[in-house]
Amino acid sequence: MALRQSYVYTAKTFRSLLKNQSIRAVRMLSSKVDGDFETAKQRLNTLKQEPGNDVKLQIYALFKQATIGANNTKRPGTFNFVGQAKWNAWNDLGPMSKDEAKEEYVKIVKDLSDAEGEAEEEVGDVSSSTDYQNLIVTKQNNYTKIVLNRPTKKNALTREVRHK
């Protein structure tokens, strides 16, 4: 009988140790996610290219979800279009946990940063070419962006540009 009780006691102790190890692992994972989140917030401020409105809304919603939690605020007024767009984006995340929102936020910022790095590598600035004197041509992710580069004349078209 005494042997059995010590076995039960050992099993309880073992479960308790496992529980404590799980709590420590969760805390370590949570601190890593928090660190990555802080780094992503700083990295977002250093981006040179501004993301599109859809991505901005997604980043905004994930930030709110990560810092505050699920949306339980009052819906903005009818004519507050920007407020409604932000509220809808945040509300669409539903019951996503704060840690999941932080991880998703970090992923989006990393993707934006990586895409910007690739864009810098792939930029083909042909403005020095005699054919395209007033144009900047960049290639990024299967599309080509052509920008008029004649700011002194307010980007007015020249005959050469119109005929190219």
> What is the rounded average pLDDT of the residues 65-91?
94
Q: Per-residue pLDDT tens for 10-22?
A: 555 656 655 666 6
Write down the domain spans for the chain.
33-122, 123-164
Task: Report CA-CA distances (Å) from 51 to 115, 126, 133, 155.
Answer: 11, 24, 28, 23
Is a pLDDT exceeding 80 seen at residue 33? no
Q: Please report the pLDDT score of residue 46 as a whole number.
A: 87
Reported for 19-22, long-range contacts at CB under 8 A and 24+ positions apart, including other chains, are none
Residue 148, classed as helix, strand or coil, is strand
Q: Please report the pLDDT score of residue 160 as a whole number.
A: 67
Q: Please report the pLDDT score of residue 119 as a whole number.
A: 56
Q: Which amino acid is at 66?
A: A
- Give the residue from 117, 57, 50 showing the smallest Cα distance to 87: 57
Q: Which two tokens mark 125?
A: 């600035």
52-56, 117-121, 152-156: the lowest-pLDDT one? 117-121
Q: Per-residue pLDDT tens for 83-132?
A: 999 999 999 999 999 889 999 999 999 998 888 876 555 444 433 334 56
Q: Which two tokens mark 153?
A: 């004349």
* CATH entry, 33-122, from 2.120.10.80, 1.20.80.10, 3.40.50.620, 1.10.287.1080: 1.20.80.10
Q: Please report the pLDDT score of residue 49 as a whole number.
A: 84
Q: Which amino acid is at 107?
A: K
Is a pLDDT exceeding 60 seen at residue 6? no
Is a pLDDT exceeding 70 seen at residue 3? no
What is the spatial distance between Cα 9 and Cα 24, in angstroms, rounded to a whole number?
22
As a whole-number percent, the residues of the chain with pLDDT over 90 amount to 31
Residue 138, classed as helix, strand or coil, is strand
